[in-house]
Amino acid sequence: MAATADDTEHEEWTASDGSPDGGRRRGTGRIALAVSFFGELLITSGLVLGLFVVYSLWWTNVVADRKADRQGDEVRDHWAQSQDPDTGPGALDTKDGIGFLHVPSMKNGEVLVRKGTSTDVLNDGVAGYYTDPIKAALPTTGKDGNFTLAAHRDGHGAKFHNIDKVAKGDAIVFETRDKWYVYKVYDILDETSKFNVNVLAQVPKESGRNKPGHYITLTTCTPVYTSRYRYVVWGELVRVDKVDSKRTPPKELR
C-alpha cells in the first residue's frame, strides 16, 4: 500500500526524534535547566545573606537600644528612690547597671554600664565592666586601679562603634548617682591580640604608666565588623565632681 502524505510526514517527524540534532536539543535543555536552577539558588542565597546582614547590623541595634533604655530608666528610678546618701551607687551593683558612660567624641549619648562582659550582657546594648580575667576596679570604691570596660563595635547597640574617633586629650565621663568621674584619654592602642590581657592590668604598663592610679580602659573589637583584634583606649582620672540637685553635667558634657 502506498504511503499517504500524512503517513510520510508522520514518519519523517518520528525519525527526527532519534536524530543527533534531537539529542543535542535535549542535552541543551538539561544544561539550561541546571543553569537556571543554580541561578535561582544564588539569588535565594543572596537574599538570605542580605537579610542576615540587616538583622545583625540593624535590627539587633534596635532591639538592644530599646532594652538598654528600659534598664537605664530603672537605674535612674533606683537613684531617685534612694534616700540614704551612705548607700552610694556601689549598692546598686545589680543586673540593671551601676552608672552611665559618656564619651562625647563617640557621639553615642550615654551608655549604661553593667557587671560582666559576657555576650548575654553586652548584647543588651550596654558596656560591661570586666570581672575576668582581671577584675575591674570600680571608681566608686575610691581605690587605685583600672576601671576596664567592653562593648560591641557593631550590632547589638554598637556602643563603641566610633571608638576610632576618640583622640588623646578627649574626655571620658562616668556618671553615678552621686558623682561624675572625669577622665582624660592619654593613650590609644589601635590593634592588639584578643588574648592580650595585659591591657586590663590595674597598672596598664602597655599604656606607658608604671605607678598605681585611677585609670579607665575601653576595649572593643577591631577592625569593624570583625572580632580578630582588640582596640584599646586608656584614660586617667583628672577630677571628681559631686552631683548637684539638678544633675548639672560637667563642662566636658555641655
Tally helices (H) and strands (E) across the chain: 4, 8
Report the 10 Å Cβ neighbour count for 91.
14
Catalytic site includes residue 161: no
152 is catalytic: yes
Spot the catalytic one: 102, 152, 156, 161: 152
Q: What's the rounded Cα separation, in Å, for the pair 109 and 104?
A: 7
User: Among candidates 148, 133, 152, which has minimal Cα distance to 226?
Assistant: 152
- Using CA atoms, how far residue 14 sits from 7, 18, 22, 94, 170, in Å, is 11, 7, 11, 85, 86
Contact 150, 126 (CB under 8 A): no
d(CA 92, CA 72): 12
Catalytic residues: 152, 221
